[in-house]
Amino acid sequence: MKVLIDLQHPAHLHFFRHAARRLQAEGHEVRFTGRNKDILEELAQHLDIPVEVFGTARKGVVNLARELCYRQWKLWQYTRAFKPDVIMAIAGTCVSAVGRLRGVPTYIFYDTEHATLSNLVAYPFATCIYVPRCYRKSIRWNHKRYNGYHELAYLHPHYFTPDPTVLREAGVAEGELFSIMRMVNWGAAHDLGYEGFSPANLTWAVETLAKHGRVFISCEGEMPAPLEPYRLRVDVTRAHDLMAYAALIFGESATMCSEGAVLGVPGIYMDPVGRGYTDEQEREYGLVFNYTSRTQHLAIQKADEILTGYDRETWREKGRRLVADKVDVSELIYQVAIAHA
């Protein structure tokens, strides 16, 4: 069996890699294509996973439209040569129509409800769309809901055990309190028209977190010059190891806050519209706390509250309960693919 997996973001490589390795171990041919975004090529090299890269992520509606057309054209050519039996992707913006026109079963996994435009481009053409059970919106096309989160495809205990040596690489002592901040560039299609923390609140947030311990900032795009000393500099393949020992994840990335939740690390998530899965992680598990652009000050105050009374084991127990409640998402991916063997 031949499987094509298309990647639009570095995190998508994590999502598919364990299922892909299992398929390859069983003799199936799995290939990855992707777009040049952030650290995808560096991450793929570190993980020793070949990725055929074409298309570069850029901001703006016109650039996104150009990239969509270019990547669809390249994928049309690629699928003609490779002749996959099944195509898989997160979001599926570039592959769904190609898969439909090629007559190849195409399976989309997604968890971002407000990506209205890209969903309209992808969903109608997919063979089936897989979304978490907590996905907010109804879907009119063929779909299935599952009891899990994307992050459980690679941070489930079946696949991930944090390596404590990352602490030495980051320059922190065992048991030392530290926080990780994540700032995004708001350039994705579903981010158009939205913006993140104001400069003043960003400075206030760093100062607040720093009262309680070290602060590491992961930033898409350029880091504001005054915050450069806080830049996270650990190897890209070890970011999840460091997250597992953090006291708090703070910022604008739903993915990183959800990763923290799976690892038993509380998260403060600021986004104008939010996500169904971070809502559930707050409502059911008390692990993520959601705020909007208008409540940035409350997000910073909540971070201060968590760190002031921080008890690591309390949060870890919440994370264990979450994992016990959910499915192994990598197993789900594997089962969807293997159905065509």
| CA atoms of 167 and 173, how far apart (whole Å) | 6
User: Whats the size of the chain, residue-wise?
Assistant: 341
- 57 SS3 class: coil
> What residue type is 51 in one-letter code?
V
Strand partners, 86: 3
Is the pLDDT confidence value at 196 over 70?
no
Contact status, residue 9 vs residue 92, Cβ threshold 8 Å:
no
Tell me the domains of the chain and their CATH numbers.
2-148+327-338 (3.40.50.2000), 165-325 (3.40.50.2000)
pLDDT of res. 30 = 98
Chain segment 96-149, per-residue pLDDT in tens: 999 999 999 999 999 998 777 788 889 999 999 999 999 999 999 999 999 999
Q: Which of 71, 127, 119, 74 is nearest to 99 (CA)?
A: 127
Which residue is listed with tokens 């127990």?
317
Strand partners, 33: 6, 52
pLDDT of res. 120 = 87
- pLDDT band, residue 195 (cuts 50/70/90): low
Burial 182-196 (b: 16+ CB within 10 A, else e): bbbebbbbbbeeeeb
- Helix, strand, coil % in the chain, rounded to nearest 5: 45, 20, 35
> What residue type is 247 in one-letter code?
A
pLDDT of res. 193 = 41
| CA atoms of 156 and 322, how far apart (whole Å) | 10
| CA atoms of 335 and 178, how far apart (whole Å) | 39
pLDDT of res. 91 = 92
| CA atoms of 157 and 318, how far apart (whole Å) | 15
**What does the pLDDT average to over 219-244?**
86
- 22 SS3 class: helix
Q: What does the block give as tokens for 193? A: 């028209």
pLDDT of res. 189 = 43
- pLDDT band, residue 185 (cuts 50/70/90): low
Q: Which of 250, 272, 254 is nearest to 149 (CA)?
A: 254
* Average pLDDT along the chain: 91
CA distances from 32 to 20, 40, 53 (A): 9, 11, 9
Burial (CB count <10 Å: 0-12, 13-18, 19+), residue 37: buried
pLDDT of res. 15 = 97
pLDDT of res. 274 = 85
| CA atoms of 161 and 152, how far apart (whole Å) | 13
More confident: 299 or 236 = 299
Instruction: Give every strand in the sheet of 128-132, ordered side by side.
Output: 51-56, 29-36, 2-7, 86-90, 106-109, 128-132, 143-146
Is the pLDDT confidence value at 254 over 50?
yes
State the CB neighbour count (10 A cutoff) for residue 245. Answer: 22
- pLDDT band, residue 40 (cuts 50/70/90): confident
Is the pLDDT confidence value at 192 over 50?
no
- Phi/psi of residue 181, nearest 5 degrees: -105, 145
Q: Sign of the C-alpha dihedral, residues 255, 261, 265, 269?
A: positive
- Phi/psi of residue 177, nearest 5 degrees: -80, 130
